[in-house]
Structure formats: C-alpha cells, structure tokens
Chain A
C-alpha cells in the first residue's frame, strides 16, 4: 500500500465518519457543523482527484456559503425545534430504508468497480481545441466555450433562486431590504475582521477570477470569495443589505447574465453561431464575461444568504 493510498483511505474514512455524524447527530447544530467539516474534507478529496477548480468551488460554496446558510437557519429555528421523537419512523421502517439505501449504494459501487479501462475521456479533445479558445485552463474552456450554455443557464438559475427567495417576502416588505445579518451582540473582533479581511479577500477574489483563464480559478470561485466578503461585512454590522427594489441592485444582479447573453447573440453575426466567439477575441471575451459574471454572481450569492426582504422600504 502506497503512502498516497493510505492517505486516501484515511481521508475516505474521515469523510464517511463526518457524513455519518451529520446524519446521526441528535440535534441540528452539531449536524450542520459536521456538514461544514465534511465540506472541507471534500475539498481535500478534490485536490486528491486533481481537480483544483472544483476544490476551490467546493471550499467556497459547498463548505463556506452553504455552511453559513445552514448555520443561520439552525440558529433561527432553534427555538422551534421540536423534541418530538414520536414523529420519527419506527425501527423496522428505518431498517427497511437503510436496507434499500444499502442496495442502491451497492449497485453504484459495483458499477464503479466495473468501470471500463481505459476510461472514456474527453480530455484529449478538450486539449486539442483549447487553442481555439485562447484560454489555458481547460475547465474554464469547458465552462465558457464548449459548454457555455450550461454556464449561462447556471447564472440564470442563481437569479431565479433569488427571485424565488424574494417571492417569500411578506407583501408589506416588498422592495425593502433583507433583515440585517449582523450578530445580535456586536463584537469588536468581528468588526475588525470585517474591516481587515475584505480588502484582502477582494484582491484574492479578483486574482482567482483573473488567473482562472489559465490556471485553477474562475468566476464562481472568485465571486464566492467576494460575495463572502460582503456577507462578512454585513455580519460584522458594517454594512446593511441593500433594498432590493433599487435599480442599481437589479442592474448589478442582471448584468453578468445579460452581458453573457449579449455576447452569445452577437456570436450569431460575428462568429457564425450562438455563443461562439469571433476569432482572435475569444480569450478577451471570455475574460470579460468572467468579470461581468463575477460581480453579478457575488451580489446574487450575498443576497441569497441575506434572504427575502424583511424591512419596509425607506421613503
């Protein structure tokens, strides 16, 4: 057994332990904490799987923002968490569920073991066409050229989720700002962090977007960091969420997707196909789209964490 495999084994065991903890924990808070740890461990797995782009995304979104969201919900729901054990399904029932889950897992595991060797891959093809896109990071090429449609839709999905979250506002608060994220008890150290970290974070985020064209990184990762910085300042009480009816909020939210769509449509005339880039401009357009999307995605992520409007419009 090589050292690497031993490490992988240890990692797998830890992840499974965290997963079991997350499922089995008696109350919600430790479960969520377990989930965040699980997300961070997964980041390591992604590194082990030679997927640094995914690792960045997982760390930023899977562990980070999802964790913030879930922890926030946990603390807000703590008062209402019923201790009811009677609602839980009976033991035989849970055994039946467990049995079927095991069967499903076993089926997937069997397929994993039986996978063809050598595995079919698009890596050579992606590499061969990479020069056409001008970028150096194949993942970015996939996201913004080969499968640009998915990315375009994904930005629409984020916006749509935001519309969905907003639609849950009480009518009287429509157009107002989401509830403040600031902790109930103001804390000096947090506001210090809120002042020190964001400049660094924003630089880091921009850097990740910028290198994304050629090295691991990209808009979602960078945007998440920038978004997280925003959330941090809001939590530190240094900023309040903006009112959602303000025009600039809307414009920032929509700009990224709209720009992407516009470039895609322009491709009809300039490059002969929707979402195609004209020769020689591919890289610059891709970077431009990434930048535009970064801002919008960061704003969307921040507002998704902030939740629906909960304060009346200031007049």
Chain B
C-alpha cells in the first residue's frame, strides 16, 4: 500500500455531499424503521422524510444559485472505475417533486396506516412506512446516479418497493395485478441490463458522462439503445405495454396509487430521457423518436377513450395515467431536433414539466378518489351522486387536479402543453399538436363526467355518505392547488431544468 495522506482521490463539489445525503437519509430511515419496528416505524419515516425534504430544497437551491450541475465521486473513486452521483436541473426538479409527493403521501397515509395501538406492530403499517422510505431511496438514486448499472439496481429497488405496495390489501385480484406488474417489469429490467452489457462491451464504461463522449453510431449502440428503450418503455407502461398498469394502480390503496402513478412510472421515464438526451445525445435519429411518439399518441387516444368507458373511478384515473404517459413520449421527436436549439430546449422543458405536473395532479386525484371511495364504500362512477355536497374539499381537489391535467392556466399542465405545442409548431410537426389537443378534449370528457356525476343529487335509496377525516382531504387539496399553480412557480424551474445541460443552450423557452 502506498504511504501518504492523499491516497484516495478526494471527492468533488462539497455541495455534492447533499446528493449523498438524499440517498443515505431514506436508506438509514428504512433500516431504522425495520429494526425498531413496532409502532415506531411511522415516526421514523416522518422524521427521515422531513429531513429528505430539507435536503431536496437544499439541492434545488444549490443548483439554482450556482447555475451548474452538482457531482460527487463516491468513495473518492472517479469514473470509469468508480460511481459518480450527478444532479443537473432535471434531477433537481424531479427530486423536489419526489420530496413533495412522498411527503404528501406520508401525511395522507397517516390516517390509513397508523399502528393499530401504540407500540403494536402490524403488517400493513410496517410495510407501508418502510416501503415509503425505500421508494424515496430508489427514486433519488434514479435522479442522481450517474452510472447505468447503479441505475439498474435503483430500478429494481423501485420495482421491489412498488410491487408490495400494490397488494398491501392482500386480495386475490391485487395480488394478481402485483404479480403481473412484477414479471413484466422484470422482463423490462433484463432488457435494460442487456443494453448496459452491450454498452460496456463497446466502451468499457457505464458512466453517463463518459459514455456521452465516447458513443458513436454503430451496431452495439443501436442494439443497446433499442433494448434499453424497450425495457424502460415496458416499465413506464407506454401503450401497448400497459397491461399491468390499470389493475395495479387501481387496485392499490389510495396512498400507494398516488405514489405509483405520480412517481414510480416517472422513474423509468426519467431514465429514458437520460438515455436519449444525455447518453446518446443526437444519436437516435428521427425515426425511433417518432416511433416512440407514435406509441405515445396511441396511448393518449386509447387511454383517454378507455378512461371514458370505465365504470370505476380508480380505473378511470389509472387509464388516464396511461394516456398521460403517452403525452410524455410526444416530446421525443420534438426534443431531438437540432440539439441546442430553442425548439429542443422548449420541448424538453415542456416534457419534464408535464411529468412533474402530472405527478402532483394525479397524486391529488388518486387521494381524492380514495377519500371518496372510503366515504361511499365503493368507487362506482354511477354512484357518485351527492359526493360533491358531502365531500366538497375532495371533490374540489379532484376537479383542480383534473383541470391541471386538462391544462387550464395557470397549471403546470398548461405551460407544458403550451411549450410542447409551440415546439411542434416551430419544428413543423403539427400532427403531434393535433394529438395533444384531441387528448385534451378527451381529458375534459372524463374529468367532467366524474365531476358532473358527483355534483348531482344523491338518490335517497343510496346509503349515507360517511364523513371523511379532514387531513387526507386537505393534503389532496394542497397537492391539487400546487399542481394548479405550478405554471406560475414553474417559471423558475423552466430554466432550472436546463441547468447543467451543455448540449442544450440555456435559453428562454418562448
């Protein structure tokens, strides 16, 4: 062993330690909650999630203030041998969204997942709180890891947390949904893993930054990109690979559904964005991007029509997620235009904003739907009459979330739609604009269908609507309001998204 003090290379940016903290905190929380068990898991989770929230804010602030990306070489080992954590604007925005939605889910979950008695451990609470912490670890890792294999582990971590969340209630149909989700996601992971093997075989590194310098157009890269994209698309449930999403998201408990729809599908989507725009910048040409967008368009139309045809509220929301995922993919041909151009920057920003906006809005809608289902004892849309009068707060949250999905100003959805429409106009690809607008109409259709039903007068024959606790309703409403005001708040994140993206000029989006 070489003597001397500076044996191990030192780590990068001191602010980069924040990234470590964002991953370490929930992991430590997970271990602690599991080991103390009993009824204390909830308190541990809330404590560590609050810490995570502060860290997320600090990361956003650090990136915003410095205007460049953060990075951290773990153990002082620099890539390609070591693993680096890296946070650019995209990851910071996603991390903030995660902290926000996970925090909301935790507050919402308190009423459903409290320990049965002080100090008594029960299956559902312990699982929920530990899994909630693990989900945070997995997501933060996905946002920050700079290594394709660590990202694979993170993806698996995410799947392993999401699957048990689906079947917390232990009914046969949710178990079946979870199993189906698990197996399909596993197939997707393996395809992704194959791609990383091919990339390593060609370039001898899995570090995103190094790969982006080394990647050249050649068969290994095409095959790897195709396999990884297909795998990630399967995990994101893009049509026609959405088989697992509706039963899983509709069957899970409301808090879990909110988490799954809002964040979990965004994990693999984010990875896809990383892959296309960071690992392979400019490499995948128009044709594959258009293929993805075509699938997205099919998802928008199919998901929306099917949402309209659902008889159950949670299934409707789940199919709406299928449609909204489709929107996310419309950005690929728009953002893979001439790199660095304002059109591409606008499209990328719009796409990410759509992801964030959908995250908050959909979480609010699932929570509101959960409150309604709890109070009604069912979630049949036909039997919703009177809900608006009995649970005005939840109904308002649902409506506001719906309005954000539809894209009414000043929601983030509006700004996202505006940016994407502008990009499609400016790049001459008006057909994607037509898809977005048609999808928007359908969205109006299913949101109004629910709101209209709920505003009706209750039949005397229907059972009485039980009052719902106020906390859950308030959390849902707060999230909905945030998603509605995101368009105003997002003006700063608009630029934040582009921080640390050398391939894309930091320009105004309009």
> Which residues in A have some Cβ–Cβ distance to B below 8 Å?
104, 107-108, 110-112, 114-116, 119-122, 125-126, 129, 131-132, 134, 145-150, 152-154, 156-157, 159-161, 163-164, 166-171, 174-175, 245, 247, 250-251, 253-254, 257-258, 261, 264-265, 267-268, 271-277, 279-280, 282
Contacts and interface: CB of A to CB of B under 8 A. Distances in A.
Given A107-B223, A149-B83, A156-B137, A119 B150 contact: no
A175 B124 CA distance: 12
Interface stretch (B162-170, B243-251, B397-405, B500-508): B162-170
B17 A268 contact: yes
Interface-central residue, B83, B124, B137, B145, by most chain A CB under 10 Å? B83
Contact of A273 (B11, B130, B204): B11
Interface of B: 1-2, 4-5, 7-8, 10-11, 17, 20, 24, 27-28, 30-31, 34-37, 72-77, 80-83, 121-124, 126-127, 130-131, 134, 137, 141, 145, 147, 149-150, 153-154, 156-157, 160-161, 163-164, 167-168, 170, 175, 194, 198, 201-205, 218-220, 223-224, 226-227
A273 B149 contact: no
B160 A273 contact: no
Interface-central residue, A107, A153, A169, A170, by most chain B CB under 10 Å? A153
A119 B154 CA distance: 28
Q: Which 3 A-B pairs have the closest CB atoms?
A: A120-B204, A273-B11, A167-B127
Contacts of A119: 201, 204
Given A122-B205, A273-B10, 20 more contacts: A120-B201, A120-B202, A122-B81, A125-B80, A132-B8, A147-B149, A163-B34, A163-B126, A164-B163, A166-B127, A167-B123, A167-B124, A168-B164, A168-B167, A171-B122, A250-B37, A257-B27, A261-B31, A268-B17, A274-B74
A280 to B, nearest CB: 7
Contact of A129 (B30, B81, B167): B81
5 contacts: A149-B145, A159-B30, A160-B134, A273-B8, A273-B73
Secondary structure dominating the interface of B: helix
Given A147-B83, A161-B160, A153 B219 contact: no
B123 A169 contact: yes
Given A120-B203, A157-B160, A274-B11, A258 B198 contact: no
Contacts of A261: 24, 27-28, 31
Given A114-B220, A131-B2, A258-B35, A276 B198 contact: no
B170 A170 contact: yes
Contacts of A174: 121-123
Nearest to B73: A273
Nearest to A280: B1
Contacts of B227: 104
Contacts of B36: 250
Contact of B8 (A147, A167, A168, A276): A276
A167 B226 CA distance: 35
Contact of B220 (A115, A132, A154, A273): A115
Contacts of A149: 74-75, 83, 145, 150
A232 to B, nearest CB: 26
A282 B7 CA distance: 11
B204 to A, nearest CB: 3
Given A250-B37, A268-B17, A271-B76, A156 B27 contact: yes
B74 A132 contact: no
B223 A111 contact: yes
B34 A131 contact: no
Contacts of B124: 167, 171
Contact of B30 (A120, A147, A156, A277): A156
A254 B35 contact: yes
Given A115-B201, A258-B31, A273-B75, A279 B153 contact: no
Contacts of B130: 163
B198 A271 contact: no
A275 B137 contact: no
